[in-house]
Chains A and B, each alone.
Chain A
Amino acid sequence: MYKIEAHNIVKNFEELEVLKGINMNVSEGEVVAVIGPSGSGKSTFLRCLNKLETINGGKIVIDGEVLADTNAAGEVVYAPMKESTRIACKMGMVFQQFNLFPHMTVLENLIEAPVHVQKRPAAEVIKEAETLLDKVGLLEKRNVYPRRLSGGQQQRVAIARALAMKPDMMLFDEPTSSLDPELTGEVLKTMRNLAEEKMTMVVVTHEMGFAREVAKRVMFMADGIVQEEGTPEEIFEHPKNERLQAFLNTILK
Chain B
Amino acid sequence: MDYIISIIPQMLMGTVDTLRLFFVTIIMSIPLGVLLALGRVSSFRWLRTLLSGYVWLLRGTPLMLQLLFVYYGLPFIPVVGVRLDDFPAAILAFVLNYAAYFCEIFRAGIQSIPKGQYEAAHTLGMDYVQTMRRVILPQVFKVILPPVSNETITLVKDTSLIYVLAMNDLLRTTRNLVQRDFNIMPFMVAAVFYLVMTLVLTYMFNRIEKNFSRYD
Report Cα–Cα, A101/B133, bound state, in Å: 13
| Interface of A (DSSP majority class) | loop
Residue of B nearest to A104 (CB): B215
Report Cα–Cα, A52/B133, bound state, in Å: 20
Report Cα–Cα, A5/B84, bound state, in Å: 65
Residues of B within 8 A of A101 (CB): 117, 120, 135, 139
* Pairwise interchain contact B116-A95, C-beta atoms closer than 8 A: yes
- CB of B216 closer than 8 Å to a CB of A: yes
For chain B, the count of residues having a C-beta within 8 Å of the partner chain is 20
Determine how close the nearest CB of chain B comes to the CB of A167; give it in whole angstroms: 9
* Pairwise interchain contact B119-A112, C-beta atoms closer than 8 A: no
Give B27-48 as 1s and 0s: 1 = Cβ < 8 Å from A's Cβ atoms. 0000000000000000000000
* Pairwise interchain contact B122-A112, C-beta atoms closer than 8 A: no
Residue of A nearest to B215 (CB): A145
Residues of A within 8 A of B117 (CB): 99, 101
* Pairwise interchain contact B216-A112, C-beta atoms closer than 8 A: no
* Pairwise interchain contact A145-B123, C-beta atoms closer than 8 A: no
Residue of B nearest to A82 (CB): B127
> Which residue, of A99, A161, A162, has the highest number of chain B Cβ atoms within 10 A?
A99
- CB of B134 closer than 8 Å to a CB of A: yes
- CB of B79 closer than 8 Å to a CB of A: no
Using C-beta atoms within 8 Å of the partner chain, give the interface range for chain A.
20 to 34
- CB of A245 closer than 8 Å to a CB of B: no
* Pairwise interchain contact A102-B120, C-beta atoms closer than 8 A: no
- CB of B157 closer than 8 Å to a CB of A: no
> Which residue, of B117, B119, B125, has the highest number of chain A Cβ atoms within 10 A?
B125
- CB of A48 closer than 8 Å to a CB of B: no
Residues of B within 8 A of A (CB): 114, 116-117, 119-120, 122-127, 130, 134-135, 138-139, 142, 214-216
Residues of A within 8 A of B (CB): 50-52, 85-86, 88-89, 91-93, 95, 97-104, 112-113, 116-118, 145-147, 161-162, 165
List 9 interface pairs A-B (beta carbons < 8 Å), by A numbering. A50-B123, A86-B125, A91-B123, A99-B119, A102-B215, A112-B124, A113-B124, A113-B126, A147-B216
